[in-house]
Amino acid sequence: MVQNAAHSPAQTGNGGCGCQNLPSAVVTHVLDPQPGEKILDLCAAPGGKTTHIAALMHDQGEVIALDKLPNKVKKIKQNALLLGLHSIRAFCFDGTKALKLDMVKDTEGEPPFLPESFDRILLDAPCSGLGQRPNMACSWTLKEVTSYQPLQRKLFTVAVKLLRPGGVLVYSTCTITLAENEEQVAWALTAFPCLQLQPQEPHIGGQGMLGAGLSFEQLKQLQRFDPSVVPLQDMDIDSLKEARVEDMIWLANKDCIGFFIAKFVKCKSIQEKDP
């Protein structure tokens, strides 16, 4: 499967218009966009999830896509045009600055945005990309790998403030580290009492990893795709002909990139004392 979900050093991308890997398709369904809603894809490039969101909404509503690189934003617009999706508006803009602090003047639909402007937000965060494959060699330093957590928290804070009460925030990465996944969820639930962790549908991946202080019930609400869990080298392909759907789903989780998904709902307007 073509891999186009990332924001990582290893990302090559396919422009967002080709096949997606399994978790990248799942995460958009977990977001569950509805026709007529206003939705933000905060770190949108290369745009596969952006166009998928618009398609699931039947192109009814508004999908705002942000990315810092002009050539990637251009590609998102090209893909939207190619697929005949008119609900997508893509902007070259830094997601960490997407919150409008000056309440006096509106920007007429362009970033930055007023607080609590969106019904749903997807934060497919920049990450270390350690779930991507194939990757035969890694040249990243420990400093590079650990540099993503602060950036992810900045983006997450902006996302929470841009989300309306009752809205849905989905956080995802294509990496496998505890620091960028479960630790971020634990931090978010402490930093933002207005957020509640939610069950996900569909739930194809495994549960979250121990070590971040989350309860077993909370770990069950997370999705972690970890293809390293069970080797498939000795799998008899003929045996799959009579396999149950449940078994095929289980196998799908073992033959995809590493990926992580968490879903939150904002229960009330954020308080000034919150970060």
Instruction: For residue 124, say whether it is annotated as part of any ligand binding site.
Output: yes
Instruction: For residue 45, say whether it is annotated as part of any ligand binding site.
Output: yes
Instruction: For residue 25, say whether it is annotated as part of any ligand binding site.
Output: no
Instruction: For residue 129, say whether it is annotated as part of any ligand binding site.
Output: no
Instruction: For residue 256, say whether it is annotated as part of any ligand binding site.
Output: no
Examine the residue annotation and report whether 267 is marked as an active-site residue of this protein: no
Instruction: For residue 46, say whether it is annotated as part of any ligand binding site.
Output: yes
Q: Which residues contact 152 (CB under 8 A, 6 or more apart)?
A: 125, 126, 127, 173, 180, 184
Instruction: For residue 94, say whether it is annotated as part of any ligand binding site.
Output: yes
Active-site option among 19, 174, 194, 256: 174
Instruction: For residue 49, say whether it is annotated as part of any ligand binding site.
Output: yes
Instruction: For residue 47, say whether it is annotated as part of any ligand binding site.
Output: yes
CA distance 116 to 119: 8
Q: Annotated active-site positions, please?
A: 174
Which residues define the annotated binding site for S-adenosyl-L-methionine?
43-49, 67, 94, 124
Which residues define the annotated binding site?
43-49, 67, 94, 124
